[in-house]
Structures are given as C-alpha cells and as structure tokens.
C-alpha cells in the first residue's frame, strides 16, 4: 500500500490575496445585480439586503487583504525596521520640503513600496524600500 503524499505547503499570502480578489469580485457582482434594471423591479427591502451583503463581502475582502499583507510582512521581517524607517523619513521630508518635484518623487517611490507590499513579493518590497531610501538621499 502506497503512503499518502505529504500535503503541499501553501503560500498563505498568495492564498489570502486570491480570496480577497474573489470576495471583492463577488461584492462587485452583488452591487452590479442590485443596481441593474429588473422587470419586475426588486423590492426596496431586498435591494437593501443585497447592499448589506455586498458591503459585508467587501469587508471580508479587506480582511483577507490584511491577512495577505500580514503574511507578506512576516516574510520580510528582517527588513521591516528599515522599511518603517524609510517610510517615516519620507513623511518627515514631505512635511519640510518646498520642492514639489521632490515631493512627487518621494510619493511615487513610496507608492511603489506600498504596491510591492500589497503584491506580496518580498524581493520587490526590499528593492522598493531601497529605491525609496535612494530617493530620499537624492
């Protein structure tokens, strides 16, 4: 008799991100249904229930997104202090700068860091934090 194969480890951040996308899509589909023209018209109480369900679905999507980001941050834990430091430095510089082009550069670089974190790619997160640090130093 063959031994069962061990379970394949999952990427918790990726799985939570996929769930977030699915729940967000379902929320949007509920809203699209609710806002569509129906013959006969959908009673107001049922429209209200659909709106509540869509909002609850969106809330779940936000929860899964937070879970995915939490898992991602676990994977970059050794770099987390640096990520926080450069982000705080960016805020400090923005509050004292008068050069709009420099502020836009900082915002663009910080947004790239946020996008990398949301995407869940540890190598991109570290690279984006380094790019933000370079932008601040320039």
- From first to last of its 138 residues, the chain has per-residue pLDDT tens of 677 777 778 788 888 888 999 999 999 999 999 999 988 999 999 999 999 999 999 999 999 988 888 888 888 989 999 999 999 999 999 999 988 999 999 999 999 999 898 888 889 999 999 999 999 998
Give the model's pLDDT for residue 1.
64
Give the model's pLDDT for residue 11.
82
Q: What is the dihedral of CA 21, 25, 26, 31, to 10 degrees?
A: 140
* Beta carbons of 34 and 52 less than 8 angstroms apart: no
Give the model's pLDDT for residue 60.
93
Give the model's pLDDT for residue 25.
94
Give the model's pLDDT for residue 110.
95
pTM for this prediction:
0.66
Please tell me the distance from the alpha carbon of residue 80 to that of residue 70, in angstroms, as a whole number.
Answer: 12
């Amino acid at each position: 008799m063959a031994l069962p194969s061990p379970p394949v480890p999952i990427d918790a951040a990726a799985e939570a991100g996929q769930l977030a996308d699915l729940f967000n899509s379902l929320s949007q589909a509920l809203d699209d249904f609710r806002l569509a023209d129906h013959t006969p018209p959908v009673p107001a109480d049922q429209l209200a229930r659909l709106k509540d369900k869509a909002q609850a679905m969106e809330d779940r999507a936000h929860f899964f997104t937070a879970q995915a980001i939490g898992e991602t941050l676990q994977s970059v834990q050794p770099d987390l202090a640096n990520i926080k430091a450069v982000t705080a430095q960016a805020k400090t510089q923005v509050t004292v700068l008068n050069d709009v082009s420099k502020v836009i550069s900082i915002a663009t670089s910080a947004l790239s860091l946020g996008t990398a974190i949301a995407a869940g790619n540890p190598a991109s997160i570290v690279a984006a934090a380094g790019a933000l640090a370079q932008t601040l130093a320039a």
